[in-house]
Chain A
Amino acid sequence: MTARPGHLHAEALFDADEARRLRARRVEAVARWLLPVAVVMLTVVAWDAFSASDEVRERIFPRPLTVWDQFVEDRALLFDSLMVTLRITVLALGISVVGGVLLAILFTQSRFAELVFFPYAVVLQVTPIVSIAPLIFIYVQDPLARVLICAWIVAFFPILSNTTLGLKSTDPNLRDLFTIYRATAWQRLVHLQLPSALPYFLGGLRIAGGLALIGAIVAEYVAGISGSGSGLAFRILEASYRYNYPRMFAALILIAVVGVVIFATTTLLSWWLLRRWHDSAVRRE
């Protein structure tokens, strides 16, 4: 009989714990959306208060509504520029994916190829793009190609290095199994190495997505006002020469939005491809 109150007590404790966990989960579900929205709104309000507090300041640091009005007014112009930047970013990312993956496959199939080409990949990666870009602009005449090359140089390395790592990270027992079943090199690549490399590749893709945008923007800056481009970075430069600060802000915000959308897309793609089997995407029950 003495055990009974203790037993009941334990039950009550468990219930309180359960209830607390349930409450925490409900709070988190709301906070996940509410908090970021609140932070953004607070930032906009603070921004507005800051720029409105001084007339001179307001001219070089426009209020949010002024930026919005400019954005609406310039929407056709900015949309065209957005398409130019987006096109270069997506193209560069696409070439990075194809080139990075193919090079990674070459590196894992041939140790010799890796020894020969890997130093070049590293040199391209560690040299700041702003220092290479002027040369590229001298040697490459095609306006699209030169910007594309810059964006590609920045974006392809994380895909190459991550995919190479992934292709090498196969389960040794599975490798033995493929040997026992006398798999060809091609079968080994398609059915063992590529699936093993997928999570690593997707990690590289998320980094490369952001870098492709940076590469595209940097290339436009290097091309400068004299360049034939008309992307978002070109708009910022042009607006700065005209002291059109609201337009600079509008273009800048648009670039940030593009970056966020790229990140969200690659994250979603990664989750979708790995949701059934990889630890990174499967929620613990």
Chain B
Amino acid sequence: MTAPAPRPIAPPGQRARLLELQGVTKVFGGEVTALSGLSLRVDEGDFLSLLGPSGCGKSTALRLIAGLTAPTRGRILWEGGQAGGDLSVVFQEPTLMPWATVEANVFLPFRLRGERLAEARPRIAEVLALVGLEGFARAYPRELSGGMRMRVSIARAIATNPRLILMDEPFAALDEITRQRLNDDLLALKARIGCTVIFVTHSVFESVFLSDRIVVMAPRPGRVVEEVAVDAPYPRDMAFRTSAAYAARTQVASTALLAAMGQAA
């Protein structure tokens, strides 16, 4: 199994539609409206962040897209059929199998597709190298730091070369330094694979640094209040973090987020 060629990413505005949520509402237990009338188009190659306070339904939106739960009303349209096996998820916790080595953990999606370890091994070694974990294939999750465990989780998500990666506050539990490094590495990986990312976060700074689109959401009931475009070109690095453009976009996103929380109060 060799490395798949990266998919080319079109500039924003010329991207093909990947999926579209049309008036999606999710009601839990017949009374709690987690998400109200969410309409959202996600294009091939987007780095889209769902930004909002807790209870705004951003994780629910992710679970709906992942197919882990069904919408109460509305629908989700997929370009060329449901992504299914072409989609992977990174949770807030690394979500590794503690009884399995790093290699066996990354092998999981292949194993569930009925592939043999011997066939998948070159690809596993490759993605482990991509996330900076060469030489850790035989290690067990408990022997790794929190940041390294998250890297294994990311390696597992990209190993099958999915079109879409869903990330649910993956770096929220990490320290600031580790988080920044993983942000940098995530952008590099995305450019390398050419996939689409939907990234749930409650950090304005993280969302501005990573995304080209930020969807700001408000709670009770969860809904979209504003979309902020971050038109700074990739690759983005330390210089972007200190640039005026970054500060300006952060300002816009912060204001939108504050307004969203004000509406809820």
Residues of A within 8 A of B (CB): 171, 173-174, 176-183, 187, 191-192, 195, 198, 276-278, 282
Contacts and interface: CB of A to CB of B under 8 A. Distances in A.
Interface string B90-113: 010101011110000000110111
B140 A187 contact: no
A198 to B, nearest CB: 7
Given A177-B95, A181-B113, 17 more contacts: A171-B95, A173-B91, A176-B66, A176-B89, A177-B89, A178-B112, A179-B68, A180-B88, A180-B89, A181-B109, A187-B111, A191-B97, A195-B97, A198-B99, A276-B99, A278-B99, A282-B142
A182 B67 CA distance: 11
B84 interface: yes
A282 B98 CA distance: 12
A186 to B, nearest CB: 11
A276 B89 CA distance: 26
A276 B91 contact: no
B98 A277 contact: yes
Given A177-B89, A180-B66, A180-B67, A277 B108 contact: no
Nearest to B92: A173
Contacts of B99: 195, 198, 276-278
B131 to A, nearest CB: 17
A277 B142 CA distance: 7
Contacts of B84: 182
Contacts of B141: 277
Contacts of A195: 97, 99-100
11 contacts: A176-B91, A177-B89, A177-B91, A180-B67, A180-B68, A181-B113, A187-B111, A187-B112, A195-B99, A276-B99, A277-B98
A177 B98 CA distance: 15
Interface of B: 63, 66-68, 84-85, 87-89, 91, 93, 95, 97-100, 108-109, 111-113, 140-142
A178 B85 CA distance: 11
Given A173-B93, A181-B85, A181-B109, A277 B68 contact: no
B140 A277 contact: yes
Nearest to B66: A180
Between B67, B99, B108, the greatest number of chain A beta carbons within 10 A of the residue's beta carbon is seen for: B99
A181 B140 contact: no
Closest A-B pairs by Cβ, 10 of them: A173-B95, A181-B112, A195-B99, A277-B98, A173-B91, A183-B112, A277-B99, A277-B140, A181-B109, A276-B140
Contacts of A192: 97
Contacts of B100: 195
Nearest to A187: B112
A183 B66 CA distance: 14
A173 B89 CA distance: 10
Contacts of B95: 171, 173-174, 177
B68 A181 contact: no
Contact of B97 (A174, A180, A282): A174
Contacts of B66: 176, 180
A191 B140 CA distance: 16
Nearest to B114: A187
A176 B140 contact: no
A182 B140 contact: no
A182 B88 CA distance: 11
A191 B108 contact: yes
Nearest to B141: A277
A260 B93 CA distance: 41
Contacts of B87: 180
Contact of A182 (B93, B98, B112): B112
Nearest to B166: A180
A269 to B, nearest CB: 16
B160 to A, nearest CB: 9
Nearest to A279: B142
Nearest to A199: B99
B155 to A, nearest CB: 14
A194 to B, nearest CB: 10
A196 to B, nearest CB: 8
Contacts of A176: 63, 66, 68, 89, 91
A179 B95 CA distance: 14
